[in-house]
Amino acid sequence: MYKKTKPRSVMELLNKNLSEREAAAILGCSRNTVSEIKELCRRQGLTWDDIQDMTDDGLYDILYPNPDKPEKILQFLHISSTIKKNVGGCVHVTYR
């Protein structure tokens, strides 16, 4: 059975100064998974202060958007992005 990683829980443990290995052991996932979540949050510019009130599912949707649901991706674009619509109705996203 597929086990969905809990990214908020990972970041909470890292914020408490646990190592990636310690967090992985507590959550029952690999250290590489912990490292990946940490890097994805860094790329999104997300710190513990930004995500502490989110649910695991909410943060998971931001870090691993479903490509089948483009409207979901647009909901969670980083604040520094600019969204423009052209005449044909296509959405173009430019990151700063």
Cα–Cα distance measured from residue 70 to residue 88, given in angstroms and rounded to the nearest whole number: 17
- Band (pLDDT 50/70/90 cuts) for residue 42 is very high
Asked if residue 27 belongs to a domain, the reply is yes
Range of the domain at 75: 7-94
At 4 the pLDDT is 73
Give residue-wise pLDDT tens across range 14-37.
Answer: 999 999 999 999 999 999 999 999
Asked if residue 2 belongs to a domain, the reply is no
Domain total in the chain: 1
Asked if residue 42 belongs to a domain, the reply is yes
- Band (pLDDT 50/70/90 cuts) for residue 82 is very low
Amino acid, res. 15? N
The mean pLDDT of the chain is 77
Residue 49 has pLDDT above 60, yes or no: yes
